[in-house]
Amino acid sequence: MCLAIPAQVEEFLEDQMILADFGRGVKREVSIALLGEELNKGDWILIHTGYAVSIMSPEEAHDTLALWEELWKSEEENENSLEES
């Protein structure tokens, strides 16, 4: 199974690279070489293994990030309960 995470285009770099903001204070360089579409600063993209694979609407990105937040919160709660036992 493959997973992809939404990120927002923050800055354009050289050689088809961008700086992408994943939220939670995480920013990474990402390749846009696989996209055949033009990007703008602030666009939402779906990232898989360091590559932007598609552009997504802000609504879809926010809905997907909300699901990821639920997963992260659940994982953190599980880790905390294990530490307390």
Q: What CATH number does residue 22 fall under?
A: 2.30.30.140
Domain count, the chain: 1
Confidence at residue 52, expressed as pLDDT on a 0 to 100 scale: 96
Confidence at residue 56, expressed as pLDDT on a 0 to 100 scale: 96
* pLDDT exceeds cutoff 70 at 1: no
Confidence at 74, pLDDT banded by 50, 70, 90:
confident
- pTM for the full model? 0.79
Burial class (CB in 10 A: 0-12, 13-18, 19+), 50: exposed
Q: Which residues pair with 8 in a beta bridge?
A: 21, 44
Asked whether the beta carbons of 61 and 6 are under 8 A apart, the reply is: yes
Give the Cα-Cα-Cα angle 50, 72, 21 (nearest 5 degrees): 40
Which residue segment(s) compose the domain that 16 sits in?
5-84
* Mean of pLDDT values over 52-81: 89
- What distance in Å separates the CA atoms of residue 34 and residue 27, rounded to the nearest whole number? 20
